[in-house]
């Protein structure tokens, strides 16, 4: 995508690339899958309404996360008014730092998923099963291969992912949080 934004194709690309990450971001704070989906859809609707030639991709992504954050804050406020005293709301809403940390986490996850989608064969199968939470023995069972083969194929997969992503910290995050290397 070029740096300048225009047209429905660009909106579709942003929607495809960022929808899951924004949903994860919203779900972290709302802790309600349906509300998170509503917030994510509202975020992209607002982007669609405002997207024009003056936006760069960077501006659009910033707009997406700022809008999602504001929508989540509004929903949390409405929920709080329904259930408890509004004065307590200020102390219980997520901080700006926690929002920024969650954006970074969702962006890392988005980058890893994008890299995984570039894999093929056994590497893609193993990554997909690991992301489903399957342990190495479970992966071996599903694929009908030995445990040592799974471990060996995972090492190859990490090598491929490093080449695709190029940022070792993302691979470390991926390995620690998503692929259960020790199992």
Rounded Cα–Cα distance for residues 71 and 57 (Å): 21
Closest CA to 64 of 87, 48, 81: 48
pLDDT above 80 for 92: no
At residue 20's C-alpha, the angle toward residues 169 and 57, to 5°, is 75
For the chain, residues classed under CATH 1.10.1740 are: 1-97
Res. 181 pLDDT band, cuts 50 70 90: very low
Residue range 102-126, pLDDT digits in tens = 777 777 777 777 888 888 888 889 8
Tell me what the mean pLDDT of segment 140-147 comes to.
93
Distance CA 81, CA 83 (A): 6
Identify the pLDDT of residue 1.
43
pLDDT of 161 over the 70 cut? yes
Residue 155: which of 136, 134, 142, 141 has the closest Cα? 136
Q: Is the pLDDT of residue 3 over 70?
A: no
Q: How many CA atoms lie within 13 A of 23 on its CB side?
A: 12
pLDDT, one tens digit per residue, over 29-81 is 888 999 999 999 999 999 988 887 777 888 888 899 899 999 998 998 887 76
pLDDT band at 86 (very low <50, low <70, confident <90, very high): very low
Considering 6-15, 98-107, 121-130, the range whose residues carry the highest mean pLDDT is 121-130
pLDDT at 59: 83
What is the C-alpha separation between 156 and 158, in angstroms, rounded? 5
pLDDT above 90: percentage of residues in the chain: 26
Q: Is residue 63 exposed (0-12), middle (13-18) or buried (19+ Cβ within 10 Å)?
A: middle
Nearest to 71 by CA among 110, 52, 99: 99
Contact 35, 56 (CB under 8 A): no
Stretch(es) of the chain classified as CATH 1.10.10.10: 118-183
Residue 102 — φ and ψ, nearest 5°?
-70, -35
User: In CATH, which of 1.10.1060, 3.90.640, 1.10.1740, 2.40.50 is domain 1-97?
Assistant: 1.10.1740
Q: What is the pLDDT of residue 137?
A: 94
For the segment 148-167, the average pLDDT, to the nearest whole number, is 83
3-state secondary structure of 56: strand
CA 37 to chain centre: 13
- The more confident residue out of 56 and 171 is 56
| Tokens matching residue 180 | 């259960």
Fold of 118-183: Arc Repressor Mutant, subunit A (1.10.10)
Burial class from Cβ neighbours inside 10 Å (0-12, 13-18, 19+) for residue 88 reads exposed
């Amino acid at each position: 995508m070029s740096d300048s934004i225009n047209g429905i194709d660009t909106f579709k690309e942003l929607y495809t690339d960022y929808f899951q990450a924004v949903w994860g971001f919203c779900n972290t704070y709302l802790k309600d899958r349906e509300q998170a989906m509503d917030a994510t859809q509202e975020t992209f609707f607002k982007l669609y309404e405002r997207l024009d030639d003056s936006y760069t991709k960077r501006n659009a992504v910033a707009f997406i996360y700022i809008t999602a954050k504001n929508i989540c804050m509004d929903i949390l406020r409405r929920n709080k008014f329904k259930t408890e005293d509004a004065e307590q709301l200020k102390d219980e809403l997520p901080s700006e730092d926690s929002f920024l940390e969650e954006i970074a986490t969702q962006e890392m996850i988005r980058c890893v998923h994008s890299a995984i989608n570039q894999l093929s064969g056994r590497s893609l199968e193993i990554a997909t099963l690991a992301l489903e939470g399957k342990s190495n023995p479970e992966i071996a069972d599903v694929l009908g291969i030995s445990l040592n083969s799974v471990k060996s194929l995972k090492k190859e997969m990490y090598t491929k992912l490093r080449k695709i992503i190029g940022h070792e910290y993302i691979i470390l995050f991926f390995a620690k949080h998503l692929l259960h290397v020790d199992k």
